[in-house]
Each structure stands twice: as structure tokens, then as C-alpha cells.
């Protein structure tokens, strides 16, 4: 049962459940081209995502929070809908070179964004904005350009290798090969760091 406050906001709008490319276990609905509604039993995780969205949407193209309600041990999070294709659709999986370029573009957009605040410092040794879960389904693309980011519950100030690790993992997972990993590393201008890769993927 959707809480009345949210129900009133989405009245007479079309709801379509989204099932592809997300593994959180949440129920996710697109509401017309205006909102995304997430419903989760994991109240703490969705609450963290809501808090981070309130912070980060001021800096990068990401969803503006609309409403967050906890009711009957469930969290209901209504946020703005961002127009764009997720990066794990066949159009990009069938063109790995373009896919790599877009992954590089996504990492660069985030890591080059200047943050003035001291909030959400994950690692005191770094001053870089990170997504925290920089996987293909969390990057939005339009006309072969990165236009936004979603699922930012793990974002903050920290080691960019956290994003590199998840980008590498997601590239290999979705393409079912590590054939393009060296190309990604080359275009990011970094060398593979096994210790950091293992640490962040296995956290």
C-alpha cells in the first residue's frame, strides 16, 4: 500500500515496474516520465540513498528527492525521473569500444567535480567526489553522452579507485569477458591495482 502523501503526488499517472539491470531486491517503478518510486524492506539503505541524493544532486546530474516515507517497516522513496538510457542496454553492450569511452567519461565527470563541503568523507586521504557504485546500470546516457547518475547511496569523498574497481567489475560482468579491461585502464590513464580492486569489490 503506497502512503497517501506519495499516492496523491502520482495520482492518475502511469506506473511501470522496472526489473532489468538492478539487483537490490527493491520494487522500482517508473511513473510516467516524471518520477521513480522505490519500495524497500531495507529501510536503512534506502534512507541513506535519499540522504545522499539530497546532497549530491546539487553537484552532478542526479535525481532530485521528492518524498521519503517509512511506513509498516517499509521505505518509500519518490525521486525525480532522469531521462536517459542505462549503460547496460544492448546498444552499448554490442559496441564495447563506445561502452568503454562512456565509462571513462562517467568517471571523469564525477572525479573532476569540485565539492566545497566536508560532508560524507569516506576516506580522509582523498578529496575526490566518488559515485561509490560506478556500474553500468547506474550511468545514464543520451545521444552517446553521459547525462546523469543514479543509485548514489554510496557516494561521498574518497578514493577514485572505488569507482574504477566497480567500473572494471561491471564491464567484465556485463560483457562476460575481460577483453576490454586494458582498454578501460589505458583510457582512464591508470594501472591495475589488484589490492584496491579486491578490497573495494569484496567490502
Strands across the sheet with 65-71, in order? 15-17, 27-31, 35-40, 74-80, 65-71
Please choose, from the candidates 14, 45, 20, 4, the residue with its C-alpha nearest in 3D space to the C-alpha of residue 151: 45
CA 134 – CA 84 distance, rounded (Å): 16
The residues annotated as belonging to the active site are: 133
CA 38 to chain centroid, in Å, comes to 14
Please choose, from the candidates 90, 77, 95, the residue with its C-alpha nearest in 3D space to the C-alpha of residue 41: 77
Please choose, from the candidates 6, 3, 13, 77, the residue with its C-alpha nearest in 3D space to the C-alpha of residue 39: 77
Amino acid at each position: 500500500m503506497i502512503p497517501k502523501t506519495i499516492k496523491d503526488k502520482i495520482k492518475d499517472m502511469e506506473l511501470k515496474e522496472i526489473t532489468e539491470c538492478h539487483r537490490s531486491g527493491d520494487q522500482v517503478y517508473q511513473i510516467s516520465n516524471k518520477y521513480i518510486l522505490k519500495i524497500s524492506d531495507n529501510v536503512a539503505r534506502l534512507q541513506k540513498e535519499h540522504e545522499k541524493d539530497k546532497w549530491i544532486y546539487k553537484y552532478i546530474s542526479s535525481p532530485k528527492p521528492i518524498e521519503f516515507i517509512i511506513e509498516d517497516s517499509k521505505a518509500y522513496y519518490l525521486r525525480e525521473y532522469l531521462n536517459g538510457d542505462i549503460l547496460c542496454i544492448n546498444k552499448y553492450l554490442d559496441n564495447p569500444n563506445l561502452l568503454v569511452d562512456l565509462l571513462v567519461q562517467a568517471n571523469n565527470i564525477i572525479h573532476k567535480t569540485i565539492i566545497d563541503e566536508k560532508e560524507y568523507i569516506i576516506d580522509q586521504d582523498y578529496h575526490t567526489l566518488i559515485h561509490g557504485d560506478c556500474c553500468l546500470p547506474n550511468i545514464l546516457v543520451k545521444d552517446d553522452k553521459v547525462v546523469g547518475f543514479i543509485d548514489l547511496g554510496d557516494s561521498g569523498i574518497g578514493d577514485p579507485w572505488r569507482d574504477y574497481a566497480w567500473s572494471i567489475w561491471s564491464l567484465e560482468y556485463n560483457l562476460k569477458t575481460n577483453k576490454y579491461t586494458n582498454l578501460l585502464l589505458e583510457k582512464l590513464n591508470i594501472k591495475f591495482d589488484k589490492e584496491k580492486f579486491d578490497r573495494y569489490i569484496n567490502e
